[in-house]
Amino acid sequence: MALSTMIYSHLPTTQYSTMTRISVIHAHQQALLDPPKTKPSNATSRIAESLSHLLHLHLETPPRTELHQSIWDSFTEEKHSTPTTSPKEVIAHKWREIHGSSDWDNLLDPLPPWLRREVVKYGEFAQATYDAFDFDSFSEYCGSCRYNCKNLFEKLGLTRNGYKVTNYIYAMSHVHMPQWLERSHLVNKWSKDSNWMGYVAVSDDEETCRIGRRDIVVAWRGTVAPSEWYEDMQRKLETFGQRDAKVEHGFHSLYTSKNESTRYNKTSASEQVMKEVTRLIESYREKGEQVSLTITGHSLGGALALLNAHEAASTIPNLPISVISFGAPRVGNVAFRDELHQLGVKTLRVVVKQDMVPRMPGLVFNEGLQKFDDITGTLEWVYTHVGAELKLDVRSSPYLKRGLDLAGFHSLETYLHLVDGFHSTSTTFRSDARRDVALVNKACDMLVNELRIPRCWYQLANKGLVCNAHGRWVKPKRDPEDIPSPTREKSVHTFVDRMQT
């Protein structure tokens, strides 16, 4: 069974089942939004409540009102017989709107279904960088992608999106960031310096026809740890580009570091991605096609996406560039934000109100200080968010637990669940949301217990061990084509070129 096997389902058969689902959702929403007025007695709840007030995370203590398990069981059975995606519609006539030509004005509240589906699509491209990443510190390939770029989307069940991966991106850093880069404990390992940080993909002919242009996607991997990583940031701004823009030192190092003595980072992540993106743009423009660049990422990946967008807009003329980020931190100063705007980069930040990471860096000194510009002048060292914001709230979903769960709040699957259920700030969670709810608990424990979905269930069978011919449980060898190899990836690259020709 593939690592990424998901739960797929089919259309509801009766009106009764649909009404049952709606009534269960509304009943549970009411139960969650009207918790008992009594004060929690245990210490954990009191600490969570204090932290909530301190950071304005809008948390609630777990409600004691419960729905009968049989109601949840009937809901679960019905949910398993519905599809996880909506039918695709042709959006060629409004692709510029979707890509942010008007900065998504009047498109985020309420959120139209055709935009929601595209946001989820790019979020799934970012999620793929986690699902395919080797986190096993006892593996000689820890820090690499488990699959080669030819079959990445097939292994992860993403071929339905109509894109092909053309190249991988690797990164290293000259700044010590133990929470950002995964290392193997073994002496003999695929790389002691580099990590797989993402990939470049391009829409196929069918998807290109549907969305109205040839879309090049860059997906950057983020960090799984929800709060520890920002402790390792240098919190120091340094110059980025040719003018006054400054960005966080650690992000800059990860994006630009290289070393001739390494196997995968003789060129930096910046050089790798720009070389591939430029190659694809030139190839499709020669054929007379309209080309766009969409860059996505979660957490740290969202920060790298902005650096990538700034560089691409500065070097490639007349290219529509859009960034769709999830749970991303602040990256640079006011000048960095202004330069992105002047370069025509469109940015949509998807943010969960309870997530800590988008508040970093600059928990205190941030864009909120601009109201004092008349007194202080523009402060070059203040971190500032970029672009339009789609704000989501954990409390809107009847499927999510209440209380303090930093990992759950920051999880990309939590984000995608909330996007799928969001219609507007004045309406409840969509009763016809189709994305599989079980995905939320892939790497956390956010779902209510009544759903009976195990916490952190997404893993290799038997945690990666296999029983050999002698009856011993051992770590298997990777398929030769899935072993990281710069030479092989170059040959795959050549193969893709020939297929395109």
Structure tokens given for 386: 């970029």
DSSP 291-346: EEEEEEEETHHHHHHHHHHHHHHHHSTT--EEEEEESPPP-B-HHHHHHHHHTT-E
Alpha carbons 247 and 307: distance in angstroms, whole number: 9
Alpha carbons 150 and 413: distance in angstroms, whole number: 25
Instruction: Read off the amino acid at residue 282.
Output: E
| Residue among 385, 410, 417, 423 flagged as catalytic | 410
Alpha carbons 168 and 178: distance in angstroms, whole number: 22
The percent of the chain in helix, strand and coil, each rounded to the nearest 5, is: 40, 15, 45
Vertex 196 angle, CA 193 and 200, to 5°:
140
| Residue among 136, 215, 355, 405 flagged as catalytic | 355
> Which is nearest to 146 in space by CA: 295, 264, 2?
2
Alpha carbons 346 and 295: distance in angstroms, whole number: 10
How would you label 237-276 residue by residue, b for 16+ Cβ within 10 Å and e otherwise?
A: beebbeeebbbbebbbbbbbbbeeebebbebbbbbbbbeb
Alpha carbons 467 and 473: distance in angstroms, whole number: 4
Residues in the chain: 501
Alpha carbons 403 and 499: distance in angstroms, whole number: 51
Cα distances from 21 to residues 76, 81, 425, 440, in angstroms, run 9, 12, 21, 19
410 a catalytic residue: yes
Q: 410 Cβ partners below 8 Å, 6+ apart? A: 226, 227, 299, 327, 352, 355, 356, 357
- Establish how many alpha carbons lie within 13 A of residue 279's alpha carbon, considering only the half-sphere containing its beta carbon: 16
136 a catalytic residue: no
299 a catalytic residue: yes
- Establish how many alpha carbons lie within 13 A of residue 389's alpha carbon, considering only the half-sphere containing its beta carbon: 14
DSSP 61: P
| Residue among 139, 144, 299, 325 flagged as catalytic | 299
Give the end-to-end CA distance of the chain in Å, rounded to a whole number: 34
Residues identified as active-site: 299, 355, 410
